[in-house]
Structure 1
Amino acid sequence: MFSKLGAKISSDQKKTRKTKPSLAGTDFLSSWTELQLRESEAEELKKKCAERKEYLEILERRIEDLKKENADIYKPEYSHEAFLKDKEAKVSLKRVKREMKGLREKEAKVERLKEEYAEMTARKETLLCEVQKHSVYKDFMAEVLKLTRFEDVDALTGYFESLLHFRDQLYQKENQVQEQVDQQRRVLLTLEDQHNLLFLQKNNQLAHLQTELDRVRAEALIWDRRWSHIQETAAKKTLELGLIKMATLNLYESTGGVVGPEGVDINDTERQLEQIKSFIKDQKDIMKQYQVILQRKTDEENREAKPQSEANDK
C-alpha cells in the first residue's frame, strides 16, 4: 500500500514540476515551511501505521487462537456435567470465560483500532495530497538554490527567514513611528483647538476693547469740545481781564496816580483799584461836604428872602 502511495506521489510530483508558480517571499517561504511540516507528519504517520498494522496482525492471530480454543471446549465429546465434576475443568471453564470476555474486549479494541487506522489512513492521504501540492515549492527552491551562493535549501530558507524577521522588525518600527505620528497629530489637533479657542477669546476681548475705545473716543471728543470752549472762554476772559486792567490803569492815572518805581506797578491792578476806590470815596466825601455847604447857603438865602417877600406883600 505504501509503495503504491509513494509511486503515486512521485508521478504527481512529476506532473506538478511542469508548472512553477511565481510567489511572493512570504507566501513562498510559508509554503516551503508547510511542505517540510507535512513531510515530517507523513513520516510519523507511516511509522504509526506500520506499528498499528503489526499490532492488528497480532490481535487477529490471538483472536483466531481463542476461537479455536473456544471451539475445542464446546465439542460434543465433552459433557457439561463432567466439567462440573472435575475441578480442573471448572478452572479451565473460568479461564475460557475470562478469555472470551477479553476476546470480546479485544475485538472491540480491534474495531476501534481499525477505525483509528482508517482515520489515520485518510489523514495520511490528505497529508500526502498536501505534500504533493506543495512539492512544487521544493523543486522551485532547488532551482533557486542553483542561482544563489547558498550551499543547501536550509541555508536559503534561513536567509529568507532572517529577511522576514528584519521585515517584521521594520514593520514594527514603522507601526511605532506611525503611532507616534498619530499621537503628535492628536496633540497638534488639541493645540489647534486650544489656539482656536484662545483666538475666539482674544477676538471677543478685542471687540470689547474696540467698543470701549469707541466710547472713550466719544468721551474724548466731548471733552475736546469742552476744552475748546474752556480755551475760548479763557481767551475771552483774558481779553476782558486785559481790558479791565487797561481801564483800571487809565482810571488810576486819571485820578492822579503815578505808575513806575515812584508809584504803583503797572501790573498791580489791586493797588490801583484800591487807590481808585480811595479816590472815589474822597470824592464822595467832598461831594457830601459840598452838598451840605450848598444846602446851608440855600437855607440862608431862603431865610433872607422870606422877610423881603413879607414886606413886599404888606
Structure 2
Amino acid sequence: MGSALEARVRAAFRDRLQLLKIPGKEDDFLPPACHLLAKRRELAEVERALLAKKEEFQMKMEELQERRQELEHKEGQLKEAILKFDKFLKENDAKQKRALRKATEEQQQASQRGAEAERLRPEIARLQRAKEKLQRRLAAHKAFPEYLQKVLEKSEQAQFGEIPELIGRFQTLMSTQASLAQRELVAREAVEEEHARLQQYVEESSNQILQQNNRVAELQSQLDQIRTRVLEGESNWIRIQNTAANKTLELGQIKLAALNLFQMVAKHRTVPADVAPDDTAAQLYVVQQCIVDLTDILADFRKGEPTYLPQPERTSASQLETQPT
C-alpha cells in the first residue's frame, strides 16, 4: 500500500513539473534568484498537491474502511441470518420428527390400550362376579356384627368399646394360642430329642460298662496268671534256697572232711605252716601229695625194695594256691 502511494505521488509530481515548465528561451534570461523562487513555488505547489492527494487518499481509505465495516456487518448479519435459518430448519425438522414420533407412540399406546382393555374385560367380569359374591356373603354375614354388638353390650365393665377392639383381642388370643402350640410342639420335639439322646447315652454307657467288665475280667485273668507265676517263682525260690542250703551244707561237710584229712596227714607228716584252716584247696593239695607219696611207697614195697619215707617238699602258700586241685 505505501509503495503504490509513493509511486502515485511521484507520478503526480512529475506531471506537475511538466505543466509548470517555462520555455527555454525565457530561462536563459532569468537570474538564479528567480529560478530559486520559481522552484520554491513549484515545490510548494507540489506539496499542496501531495497534501491534497494524501487527504483524498485518506478520505478514500476512510470510505473503504467504512465500506469494509459495513460489508463485515452485513456479512455477520447474513451469517447470523443463515445460522438462524439453519437453526429454524433443524428445529422445524426436529419438531416434525417429534410430532411424528409422538403420533406413532400415541397410536401404539392407543393400540396397547385397546389390547389392554380387551385383555382386562374378562378380569373386570371376574372382579364383578367376585364383588357380587362378596356382597352376597356380606348380606349373609350381616347378623354377625349385630351379634358382636350384643357381646360388647354384655361384656363385663365394658372391657371393649368397639367391635374392632373385640376382633383384635380375638386375633391376639388366636395368635397367642398358635404361638403356645408352636412352643409346645418345639418343647415336645426337644423332649423327644433329649429322650433319644438319653437312650443313646444309656446304650453307649451300657456298652462301655460291658467293655469295662470284659476288660476287668481280662485283667483279673491276667492277675490270676501273674499270681500263679509269682507262686511258682516263690516255690522255685524256696527250692533254690533249699538247694543252696543243701549245697552249702554239703560244701561245709566237704570242707570239714578235707580239714580232717589234712589234720590226719599233718599228724604223720610235716606240712607247710602257712596253710590256713579255711584254705580247702591247699589242704586238698597236701592230702593229694600225701596220697601220691603213699602210692609210690606202696608200689616200691610191692617190688621188694627197701622203702623209706621221703620228706615232703615244703611249699609256700602261694605255690599251693597256684597248683591245680
Shorter chain as normaliser: what TM range? Answer: 0.3 to 0.5
| Structure exhibiting the larger radius of gyration computed from Cα positions | 2
Larger relative contact order, structure 1 or 2 (CA cutoff 8 Å, min sep 6)? 1
Normalised by the length of structure 2, the TM-score is 0.43
Normalised by the length of structure 1, the TM-score is 0.44
